[in-house]
Amino acid sequence: RLTPLEQKEQQLNSERAQNKGDRWGFVAILPRSGFVHTVHSAKRDGEQAKVFIEKIRGRSNGLAPLFLSDAWFYSEPIFETYSYYEDVPYCGRGRPPHPIRIVAEELMYAQVYKKRDKKGKIESIETRIIKGDEEEILAIIKATSRGATKINTSFVEGKNGTYRKDNARLTRKSACHSKRAIYHDAHIYFLTAVFNFCRENIGLRKTINPNAGLFEQKYQKISPAMQEGLTDKILSIKELLAIRPKK
């Protein structure tokens, strides 16, 4: 956190303001494959949460999916992104009514709320259905989450741990922290591509030779991108860096 002096310096220098302070990673994962669908690195507030949700919508078919998250400020950004406004007929008296917001009917959203004590230790965990039917939500989870049977955020929490393990820039209270936001974000995006295209998801591997002997291949290794049909093999770092992005 910034000291009062640093906050004052930020107001006087825009470049300093951009490269000082906390940097939060917003991560969206497809449970069926472990594919990191969207990642957004910015300050931790509702405005940036809305940017993150808009990115998710822009990279999908636009239909409202099932959202599972912790109990932060995602409700309003999700409802605002997956909704439209409808005019209310004017009766001819008084001021014309404001348009009303209609949230997408297919949208379903549930939260995992963790209650902590003063020391940060978890005391209890409960789930909250924000929108949708609980039975329908559980049915989707069972069908797409590879063994999960209840509302949870374990896939995102596990991936956050992997980011911290593989990215020294995310280590707290160390000299490895990023000095400029642009390099911090670039490392996050690069790691995300590595996770998706260059690493095996052990939970997805298939047995192709159950009687394999020593030094014989027993399993077919599958990456999240392979499971999503984006590639037919696990890429090397060299192959990943040689891909030309589509304009």
Condensed to tens digits (0 to 9), the pLDDT of residues 115-161 reads: 888 888 889 999 999 999 999 999 999 988 887 889 999 899 999 99
Cα–Cα distance for residue pair 30/226, rounded to 1 Å: 13
- Rounded to 5°, angle at Cα 156 from 155 and 157: 95
pTM assigned to the model? 0.85
Tokens of 142: 């069972």
Under 8 Å between Cβ of 39 and 52:
no
Q: pLDDT for 230-246, tens place per residue? A: 999 999 999 999 987 76
Least reliable range by pLDDT among 145-149, 167-171, 181-185, 222-226: 145-149
Share of the chain above pLDDT 90, in %: 61
Which tokens hold the place of 200? 């095996």
Q: Is the pLDDT of residue 16 over 80?
A: no
CA gap 128, 61 in Å, rounded = 26
- Determine the Cα–Cα distance for residues 53 and 212; give it in Å rounded to an integer: 46
CA distance 53 to 103: 14
How confident is residue 178, by pLDDT bands cut at 50, 70 and 90?
confident
Alpha-carbon distance of 121 to 126, in angstroms, equals 15
Q: Residue 91 has what pLDDT?
A: 84
At 136, the amino acid letter reads E
What pLDDT score was predicted for residue 57? Answer: 95
Grouping H, G, I as helix, E, B as strand and the rest as coil, residue 115 is strand
The model's confidence at residue 9, banded by pLDDT at 50, 70 and 90, is: low
- The better pLDDT of the pair 92, 49 is held by 49
* Structure confidence at residue 126 (pLDDT): 93
What is the pLDDT averaged over residues 52-65? 93
CB 192 within 8 A of CB 198: no
CB 90 within 8 A of CB 107: no
Residue 47: its pLDDT value, please? 92
Weakest-pLDDT range from 13-17, 77-81, 117-121: 13-17
Contact 171, 149 (CB under 8 A): no
Percent of the chain residues topping a pLDDT of 70:
92
Cα separation values, 85 from 61, 99, 101, Å: 20, 6, 4
Mean pLDDT of the chain: 89
DSSP assignment, residue 116? E
> Contact, 103 vs 86, CB < 8 A?
no
| pLDDT, average across residues 156-181 | 87
Q: What is the largest CA-CA distance in the chain?
A: 85
Q: In the prediction, which pLDDT does 215 show?
A: 87
The residue with greater pLDDT, 6 or 62, is: 62
**Helix (H) or strand (E) segment spanning residue 226:** helix 224-227
Element (H, E) at 135: helix 134-144
Instruction: Label residue 6 by pLDDT band (50, 70, 90).
Output: low
- In this prediction, residue 11 carries a pLDDT of 63
